[in-house]
Structure 1
Protein backbone atom coordinates (compact mmCIF):
# COMPACT_ATOMS: atom_id res chain seq x y z
CA UNK A 1 0.00 0.00 0.00
CA UNK A 2 1.27 3.47 -0.80
CA UNK A 3 2.05 6.08 1.79
CA UNK A 4 1.47 9.82 2.01
CA UNK A 5 3.32 12.46 3.98
CA UNK A 6 1.21 15.09 5.70
CA UNK A 7 2.80 18.39 6.76
CA UNK A 8 1.26 20.94 9.13
CA UNK A 9 1.65 24.25 7.32
CA UNK A 10 -0.53 26.56 9.44
CA UNK A 11 -0.73 27.03 13.17
CA UNK A 12 -3.42 25.24 15.14
CA UNK A 13 -4.05 28.38 17.25
CA UNK A 14 -7.00 29.64 15.17
CA UNK A 15 -8.46 26.18 14.56
CA UNK A 16 -11.78 25.03 15.99
CA UNK A 17 -11.82 22.31 18.67
CA UNK A 18 -12.93 19.76 16.07
CA UNK A 19 -10.03 20.64 13.80
CA UNK A 20 -7.61 20.46 16.74
CA UNK A 21 -8.94 17.00 17.52
CA UNK A 22 -8.26 15.89 13.95
CA UNK A 23 -4.73 17.27 14.17
CA UNK A 24 -4.24 15.39 17.44
CA UNK A 25 -5.44 12.17 15.82
CA UNK A 26 -2.79 12.64 13.12
CA UNK A 27 -0.18 13.47 15.75
CA UNK A 28 0.65 16.86 14.28
CA UNK A 29 1.59 19.17 17.15
CA UNK A 30 3.92 21.84 15.70
CA UNK A 31 4.15 23.79 12.44
CA UNK A 32 6.35 22.22 9.76
CA UNK A 33 5.92 18.79 11.39
CA UNK A 34 5.70 15.92 8.88
CA UNK A 35 4.17 12.49 9.49
CA UNK A 36 3.85 9.49 7.17
CA UNK A 37 0.59 7.51 6.94
CA UNK A 38 -0.78 4.67 4.86
CA UNK A 39 -2.93 6.05 2.05
CA UNK A 40 -6.37 4.99 3.28
CA UNK A 41 -9.78 6.61 2.77
CA UNK A 42 -9.92 7.49 6.49
CA UNK A 43 -6.64 9.42 6.39
CA UNK A 44 -7.67 11.10 3.13
CA UNK A 45 -10.96 12.15 4.77
CA UNK A 46 -9.18 13.70 7.74
CA UNK A 47 -6.79 15.55 5.44
CA UNK A 48 -9.74 16.81 3.39
CA UNK A 49 -11.44 18.22 6.50
CA UNK A 50 -8.34 20.21 7.53
CA UNK A 51 -6.93 20.88 4.06
CA UNK A 52 -6.43 24.57 4.89
CA UNK A 53 -4.06 23.62 7.74
CA UNK A 54 -2.08 20.76 6.19
CA UNK A 55 -0.41 19.86 2.91
CA UNK A 56 0.21 16.46 1.37
CA UNK A 57 3.90 16.14 0.52
CA UNK A 58 4.53 13.64 -2.27
Structure 2
Protein backbone atom coordinates (compact mmCIF):
# COMPACT_ATOMS: atom_id res chain seq x y z
CA UNK A 1 0.00 0.00 0.00
CA UNK A 2 1.30 3.45 -0.86
CA UNK A 3 2.23 5.93 1.86
CA UNK A 4 2.51 9.70 1.79
CA UNK A 5 4.13 12.26 4.08
CA UNK A 6 2.09 15.43 4.63
CA UNK A 7 3.85 18.52 6.02
CA UNK A 8 2.15 21.73 7.12
CA UNK A 9 3.83 24.62 5.31
CA UNK A 10 1.51 27.58 5.92
CA UNK A 11 -0.50 28.98 8.80
CA UNK A 12 -4.21 28.28 9.27
CA UNK A 13 -4.88 31.77 10.63
CA UNK A 14 -7.78 33.49 8.78
CA UNK A 15 -8.81 30.20 7.15
CA UNK A 16 -12.32 28.73 7.26
CA UNK A 17 -13.12 26.54 10.27
CA UNK A 18 -13.46 23.40 8.14
CA UNK A 19 -9.86 23.79 6.92
CA UNK A 20 -8.59 24.28 10.48
CA UNK A 21 -10.46 21.18 11.64
CA UNK A 22 -9.10 19.17 8.71
CA UNK A 23 -5.51 20.05 9.65
CA UNK A 24 -6.24 19.15 13.27
CA UNK A 25 -7.77 15.82 12.25
CA UNK A 26 -4.61 15.03 10.30
CA UNK A 27 -2.53 15.77 13.38
CA UNK A 28 -0.78 18.81 11.89
CA UNK A 29 -0.44 21.46 14.57
CA UNK A 30 2.60 23.67 13.90
CA UNK A 31 4.25 24.78 10.67
CA UNK A 32 6.89 22.24 9.71
CA UNK A 33 5.14 19.38 11.52
CA UNK A 34 4.63 16.30 9.36
CA UNK A 35 2.75 13.03 9.56
CA UNK A 36 2.76 9.82 7.50
CA UNK A 37 -0.43 8.19 6.23
CA UNK A 38 -1.56 5.23 4.15
CA UNK A 39 -3.21 6.50 0.98
CA UNK A 40 -7.01 6.27 0.94
CA UNK A 41 -9.76 8.15 -0.83
CA UNK A 42 -10.89 9.89 2.36
CA UNK A 43 -7.35 11.01 3.16
CA UNK A 44 -6.81 12.34 -0.35
CA UNK A 45 -10.05 14.33 -0.01
CA UNK A 46 -8.69 15.88 3.19
CA UNK A 47 -5.38 16.70 1.51
CA UNK A 48 -7.21 18.24 -1.44
CA UNK A 49 -9.20 20.49 0.91
CA UNK A 50 -6.01 21.98 2.42
CA UNK A 51 -3.60 21.55 -0.49
CA UNK A 52 -2.61 25.23 -0.34
CA UNK A 53 -1.46 24.82 3.29
CA UNK A 54 0.50 21.54 3.05
CA UNK A 55 3.12 19.79 0.96
CA UNK A 56 2.82 16.10 0.07
CA UNK A 57 5.65 13.64 -0.60
CA UNK A 58 5.36 10.04 -1.66
CA UNK A 59 7.25 7.54 0.53
CA UNK A 60 8.72 4.38 -0.97
Regarding TM over 0.5, the answer is: yes
Equivalent in the alignment of 2:4? 4
Equivalent in the alignment of 1:38? 38
| TM score, norm. by length of structure 2 | 0.90
Counterpart mapping for 1:15-30 below 5 A: 15-30=15-30
| TM score, norm. by length of structure 1 | 0.92
Counterpart mapping for 1:40-55 below 5 A: 40-55=40-55
Q: RMSD in angstroms over aligned alpha carbons? A: 0.8
Aligned length: 58
How far off its partner does 1:14 sit? 2.1
Structure 1 Cα separation of the partners of residues 56 and 19 of structure 2:
17
Residue segments in structure 1 that go unaligned for 5+ positions in a row: none
How far off its partner does 1:13 sit? 1.2
Structure 2 Cα separation of the partners of residues 28 and 14 of structure 1:
17
Structure 1 Cα separation of the partners of residues 14 and 5 of structure 2:
23
